């Protein structure tokens, strides 16, 4: 969550070159994270550079240094070596083996239940010897097994595994919202906390009928969930590591039998490439559509995409039917994204959804109110602007209308007559006649060009 799985793509940005994603290409080479994505580097004032393949999941070359020019001829020897490398970099146990191990683990008395912290693995007594010099936890309770997201530590690497987990309050809110809206199945893409909450409620409360399937890049979860509860999945290239069987599990789950409505909830890493994610999400939506031709007509699979508000225009480019809710999503282990902060310290994370905004009730006790004109719940600081005729604030603070820009802007911004738009008071004026070299328009730098797909 908080980016549940892995982050963006491609190698670091050299100089002022921009990296453009050309997308998943048929016949792309693979690294341990599945098929690589095709990129092109464009340098300032120069024509398009050479195209290359890089890891879909890891932004940092230190985490996965896969790189291949598109037009490069790769020798048989190197291909064989690569396949061998990819094989060796898969987890040591299969999902099936992990499920069997779990069954044996649960039968052990408390005193024999150990979890190796270094290997992030449940240990059976026969394996203690092998891990004797490692740090481990003893007496693993059933409660701990039911909340693996707390047992497993967040993977160190922040960019690849942006493992910020939903705060309880946000998780509870999401689950209540989903049940109130009548959803009985949740496809949890990179949201282990939500999945876990649904699972534990289902095992404790008989009348609780929601089910969840977790798709996540973090294979450690296969130790706690069966093949019908977890699929090892990379959301940047729509790759199911379990192959056709896992894909089938997902397809089956999306099939709405007995009118059990499905919704997909996803919480990608915030460094993730929006278009790579959008491509995968469209494929999951298509999978849903294919399960039941008649009923779905021209409808879209309902979806909650949890992402920072400043990506709004990018997300709407790919999903014009989406809108952004004002609800602020918080994370447990994230220093910045905590509830109750004011001003600029508030969480920038929002829910983007294709559901009708008026249906989504936000908690009044947390300061949300219903705007009758906009027909949606907004945060209390979000005042309705008569001129724009909408509640315009994006960040929880009250925004102000600029007559010259013909729109509302952040309270800390002022209109600069030199630049001819609103910006921070202390800024270097962009008063040059040279347009942005990407699209040729004036008024923004290359780095902020809306037409660029960037990491």
Query: Does any domain span residue 23?
Result: yes
For residue range 137-170, what is the model confidence (pLDDT) as tens digits?
999 999 999 999 889 877 655 444 556 788 888 9
pLDDT at 435: 59
380, 415, 449 - which closes a domain:
380
Q: Are residues 110 and 255 in the same domain?
A: no
Containing domain of residue 282, as a range? Answer: 168-380
130 and 172 part of one domain: no
Q: Which of 250, 248, 232 is nearest to 240 (CA)?
A: 232
Residues 67 and 188 in one domain: no
Q: If we measure between CA atoms, which residue out of 55, 69, 64 comes closest to residue 10?
A: 55
**Rounded Cα–Cα distance for residues 89 and 72 (Å):** 24
Identify whether residues 208 and 334 lie together within a single domain.
yes
Residue-averaged pLDDT of the chain: 85
What are the φ and ψ backbone dihedral angles of 285, each rounded to 5 degrees? Answer: -65, -40
Question: Is residue 408 assigned to a domain?
Answer: no
Residue with tokens 């797909």: 453
pLDDT of 92-111, one tens digit each? 899 999 999 999 999 999 99
Q: How many domains does the chain have?
A: 3
**Separation between Cα atoms, residue 72 and residue 83, nearest integer Å:** 17
Asked if residues 334 and 286 have their Cβ atoms less than 8 Å apart, the reply is no
Cα Dmax for the chain: 75
Residues 216 and 233 reside in one and the same domain: yes
On the 0-12 / 13-18 / 19+ scale of CB atoms within 10 A, 335 is: exposed
- Taking the C-alpha atoms of residue 161 and residue 395, their distance in angstroms, rounded to an integer, is 26
Task: Give whole-number Cα distances, 50 to 20, 141, 149, in Å.
Answer: 11, 54, 41
Whether pTM exceeds 0.75: yes
Contacts of 34 (CB under 8 A, 6+ apart): 56, 57, 234, 237, 239, 241
- Chunked into runs of 10 residues, the chain (455 residues) has average pLDDT values of 41 57 88 95 76 90 90 93 94 95 96 93 94 93 92 64 77 95 96 95 90 96 97 96 96 87 93 90 94 70 94 95 92 59 71 94 89 86 82 82 86 86 83 57 64 50
Crossing angle of helices 274-291 and 243-254, in 10° steps, is: 70
């Amino acid at each position: 969550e908080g980016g549940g799985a892995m982050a963006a793509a491609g190698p670091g940005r050299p100089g002022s070159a921009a990296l453009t994603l050309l997308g998943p290409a048929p016949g792309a080479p693979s690294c341990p994270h599945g098929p690589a994505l095709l990129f092109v580097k464009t340098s300032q004032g120069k024509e398009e550079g050479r195209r290359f393949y890089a890891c879909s999941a890891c932004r940092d070359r230190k985490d996965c240094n896969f790189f291949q020019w598109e037009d490069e001829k790769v020798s048989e020897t190197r291909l064989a070596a690569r396949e061998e490398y990819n094989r060796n970099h898969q987890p040591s146990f299969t999902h099936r083996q992990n499920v069997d191990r779990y069954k044996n683990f649960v039968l052990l008395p408390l005193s024999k239940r150990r979890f190796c912290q270094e290997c992030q693995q449940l240990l059976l007594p026969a394996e203690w010897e092998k891990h004797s010099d490692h740090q481990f936890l003893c007496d693993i309770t059933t409660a701990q097994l039911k909340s693996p997201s707390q047992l497993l530590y967040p993977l160190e690497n922040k960019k690849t595994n942006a493992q910020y987990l939903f705060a309880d309050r946000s998780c509870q809110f999401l689950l209540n919202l989903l049940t109130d809206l009548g959803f009985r199945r949740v496809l949890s893409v990179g949201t282990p906390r939500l999945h876990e909450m649904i699972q534990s409620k289902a095992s404790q409360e008989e009348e609780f009928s929601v089910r969840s399937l977790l798709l996540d890049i973090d294979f450690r979860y296969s130790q706690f969930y069966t093949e019908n509860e977890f699929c090892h999945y990379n959301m940047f290239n729509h790759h199911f590591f379990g192959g056709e069987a896992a894909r089938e599990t997902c397809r089956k789950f999306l099939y709405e039998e007995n009118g059990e409505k499905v919704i997909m909830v996803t919480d990608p890493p915030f460094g993730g490439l929006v278009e790579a994610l959008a491509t995968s999400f469209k494929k999951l939506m298509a999978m849903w559509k294919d399960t039941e031709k008649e009923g779905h007509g021209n409808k879209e699979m309902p979806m909650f995409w949890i992402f920072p508000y400043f990506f709004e225009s990018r997300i709407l480019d790919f999903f014009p039917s989406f809108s952004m809710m004002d609800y602020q999503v918080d994370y447990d282990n994230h220093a910045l994204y905590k509830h109750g902060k004011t001003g600029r310290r508030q969480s920038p994370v929002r829910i983007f959804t294709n559901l009708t905004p008026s249906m989504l009730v936000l908690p009044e006790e947390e300061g949300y109110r219903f705007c009758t004109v906009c027909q949606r719940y907004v945060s209390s600081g979000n005042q309705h602007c008569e001129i724009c005729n909408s509640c315009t604030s994006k960040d929880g603070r009250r925004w102000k209308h600029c007559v010259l820009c013909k729109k509302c802007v952040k309270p800390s911004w002022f209109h600069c007559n030199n630049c001819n738009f609103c910006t921070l008071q202390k800024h270097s004026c962009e008063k040059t006649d040279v347009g942005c070299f990407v699209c040729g328009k004036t008024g923004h730098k290359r780095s902020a060009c809306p037409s660029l797909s960037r990491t």
